[in-house]
Amino acid sequence: MHLQHLTTALLSVASAVHAQSSSTAPGYDCYPTCIPSTVLANQSLSFGRHYAVLNLDLINALVSPLANTSAGAAFISNTACWIDAVHAQNPPPLSIFTRIYFSNAHKPELGPLTPFAAVGGALGTANSSETMLYPAFHVDEAAGDTVLQKTRYYAGAGNGLEEILRAQQIDTVVLSGIRTSGVILSTAYRLFDLDYNVYVIANNTIETPPNNPDINTNILAGILPKIPVDVITIEQAMAALNRSGPAIY
Ligand SMILES: *[C@@H]1O[C@H](CO)[C@@H](O)[C@H](O)[C@H]1NC(C)=O
Ligand SMILES: *[C@@H]1O[C@H](CO)[C@@H](O)[C@H](O)[C@H]1NC(C)=O
Ligand SMILES: *[C@@H]1O[C@H](CO)[C@@H](O)[C@H](O)[C@H]1NC(C)=O
Ligand SMILES: *[C@@H]1O[C@H](CO)[C@@H](O)[C@H](O)[C@H]1NC(C)=O
Ligand SMILES: *[C@@H]1O[C@H](CO)[C@@H](O)[C@H](O)[C@H]1NC(C)=O
Domain membership of residue 249 (yes or no) is no
Could you list the residue range(s) of the whole structural domain that residue 156 is in?
Answer: 2-243
Q: Quick check: CB of 4 below 6 Å from ligand 2?
A: no
Q: What is the whole-number distance in angstroms between the Cα of residue 126 and the centre of ligand 4?
A: 8
HSE of 191, CA atoms in CB hemisphere, 13 A: 34
Residue 116 has pLDDT above 90, yes or no: yes
Residue with CA closest to ligand 4 atom 8: 127
Q: How far is the C-alpha of 92 from the C-alpha of 144, rounded, in Å?
A: 8
Predicted pLDDT at 207? 87
Residue 45 has pLDDT above 70, yes or no: yes
Please compute the mean of the pLDDT values over residues 61-88 and round it to a whole number.
94
Q: Which ligand has its closest atom nearest to the C-alpha of 239?
A: 5
Residue 8 has pLDDT above 60, yes or no: no
Q: Which atom of ligand 3 is nearest to the CA of 68?
A: 1
Domain membership of residue 109 (yes or no) is yes
Predicted pLDDT at 214? 81
Domain membership of residue 119 (yes or no) is yes
Domain membership of residue 141 (yes or no) is yes
Predicted pLDDT at 23? 38
Please compute the mean of the pLDDT values over residues 6-31 and round it to a whole number.
44
Domain membership of residue 97 (yes or no) is yes
Confidence of residue 123 (pLDDT cuts 50, 70, 90): very high
Whether 78 contacts 28, CB under 8 Å:
yes
Q: Which ligand has its closest atom nearest to the C-alpha of 14?
A: 3
pTM for the model stands at: 0.87
Domain membership of residue 223 (yes or no) is yes
Predicted pLDDT at 208? 80
Please compute the mean of the pLDDT values over residues 209-229 and round it to a whole number.
85
Predicted pLDDT at 209? 65
Q: What is the CATH number of the domain that holds 118?
A: 3.40.50.850
Q: Which ligand has its closest atom nearest to the C-alpha of 27?
A: 1
Whether 202 contacts 220, CB under 8 Å:
yes
Phi, psi of 200 (to 5 degrees): -115, 125
Residue with CA closest to ligand 2 atom 13: 42
Q: 161: burial class by Cβ within 10 Å (0-12, 13-18, 19+)?
A: buried
Q: Quick check: CB of 242 below 6 Å from ligand 5?
A: yes
Q: What is the whole-number distance in angstroms between the Cα of residue 86 and the centre of ligand 5?
A: 12
Q: How far is the C-alpha of 249 from the C-alpha of 244, rounded, in Å?
A: 13
Pairing of strands 230-232, 51-56: unpaired
Residue with CA closest to ligand 5 atom 5: 242
Residue with CA closest to ligand 3 atom 9: 68
Q: Which ligand has its closest atom nearest to the C-alpha of 221?
A: 1
Number of domains present in the structure of the chain? 1
Q: Which atom of ligand 5 is nearest to the CA of 242?
A: 1
What is the CB neighbour count within 10 angstroms for residue 33?
10
Q: How far is the C-alpha of 197 from the C-alpha of 193, rounded, in Å?
A: 10
Predicted pLDDT at 14? 43
Q: What is the whole-number distance in angstroms between the Cα of residue 67 and the centre of ligand 3?
A: 8
Most confident of 2-16, 24-38, 139-153: 139-153
Least confident residue range of 56-60, 101-105, 214-218, 226-230: 214-218
Domain membership of residue 27 (yes or no) is yes
Domain membership of residue 248 (yes or no) is no
Residue 213 has pLDDT above 70, yes or no: no
Predicted pLDDT at 31? 57
Question: What are 162-209's pLDDT values in tens digits?
Answer: 999 999 999 999 999 999 999 999 999 999 999 999 999 999 999 886
